[in-house]
Chains A and B, each alone.
Chain A
């Protein structure tokens, strides 16, 4: 007999997990590939479905822009992405990625991918945020790391040069002092005129 614990364990092990990116940056006029894949304990069924919905920034409504079912992809032919959307995924390999072409600032928003692999249908859709820029901004932390690295590198360099100078000066002082003591100098090294 199945107890409640068994049922929850069964449910958890059969939940489908969907992966998309977290955030994507793109330049105006470029194309971008939004990837979506899933993990499921079951074999990939023939009735696997992928659907993408789009919610513009600042809006509360989502609109459906792509659906794959029964082995046939259906792309948006009425909405904001008509003629700009292409299906580049491979459902047999659990890949439901789409390609958006010729991006514009109005494409900023959140894209949600929902995949179902019957009978494994319990899962959470995953969202990826698209940010369209005129020019690519500097990644957070790059300049911070660069400044810190340069300053610390200079510090290490100065310390190394200081110790090197001290070593060279000490060696030169040692050579001079060795030469000035007569009995201490091997003949080969102390020829006059050889510096």
Chain B
């Protein structure tokens, strides 16, 4: 029982950490000389790295918002899990926790999809996607599975 609890919590925390790293470190596209992120674009020039804020386009801001929202919802879901753990009656399901976690995973999915589709407009063909982009895509199924587990789980004494 305790093992199950620990496993669920560690899955949730893993998804949350992936979301954090993906949003903050944010190496979404890389090439030999540039890294382009959600927040800044850096170019390697003769004088070192030269960074400027990311373009003020509508879509990149939407991706920023969706990543931040997914982090917020995942946090709320973790908090609600601990609340419901102590207040739910026996046999009850963690619907609220599961809902928030599933919503978080949907936000990450939307953010990653929007970035994939619109990225042709702001990166060149020679750039490849960086590890933060991959982390975002990995965080999506982790969060989804975690949310589904919460929905299925029943509280036992």
By a beta-carbon cutoff of 8 Å, the part of chain A in contact with chain B is 137-148, 151-152
Residue ID in chain B nearest A146 by CB atoms: B65
CB-CB < 8 A to A152: which residues of B?
69, 72
17 A-B residue pairs with Cβ-Cβ distance under 8 Å, sorted by A, are A138-B56, A138-B61, A140-B54, A140-B56, A141-B61, A143-B61, A143-B65, A144-B65, A144-B68, A147-B62, A147-B65, A147-B66, A148-B65, A148-B68, A148-B69, A151-B69, A152-B69
CB-CB < 8 A to B68: which residues of A?
144, 148
CB-CB < 8 A to B66: which residues of A?
147
A137 touches B65 (CB 8 A): no
CB-CB < 8 A to B56: which residues of A?
137-140
CB-CB < 8 A to A151: which residues of B?
69
B61 touches A142 (CB 8 A): yes
Residue ID in chain B nearest A138 by CB atoms: B56
Cα–Cα distance between A147 and B107 once the two chains are bound (Å): 12
Task: Count B interface residues, CB 8 Å.
Answer: 12
Q: Is B53 an interface residue (CB 8 A)?
A: yes
Main secondary structure of the interface of A (DSSP, over half): helix
CB-CB < 8 A to A139: which residues of B?
56
CB-CB < 8 A to B65: which residues of A?
143-148
Q: Is B64 an interface residue (CB 8 A)?
A: yes
A173 to chain B, nearest CB (A): 19
Q: Of A140, A145, A146, A148, which is in contact with the most chain B CB atoms at under 10 Å from its CB?
A: A140
Q: Is B5 an interface residue (CB 8 A)?
A: no
9 closest A-B pairs by beta carbon, nearest first, are A147-B65, A143-B61, A144-B65, A144-B61, A140-B56, A144-B64, A137-B56, A148-B65, A151-B69
A30 to chain B, nearest CB (A): 19
CB-CB < 8 A to B58: which residues of A?
138, 143
Residue ID in chain B nearest A137 by CB atoms: B56
Known: A148-B69, A151-B69. A143 touches B62 (CB 8 A): yes
A58 to chain B, nearest CB (A): 14
B109-127: contact bitstring with A at CB < 8 Å (1 yes, 0 no)? 0000000000000000000
Among B52-106, those with CB < 8 Å from A are 53-54, 56, 58, 61-62, 64-66, 68-69, 72
Residue ID in chain A nearest B66 by CB atoms: A147
Cα–Cα distance between A10 and B69 once the two chains are bound (Å): 52
* Known interface pairs A139-B56, A148-B72; 14 further A-B residue pairs with C-beta atoms within 8 A, sorted by A's residue number: A137-B56, A138-B61, A140-B53, A140-B56, A141-B61, A142-B61, A143-B65, A144-B61, A144-B62, A144-B64, A144-B65, A145-B65, A146-B65, A152-B69
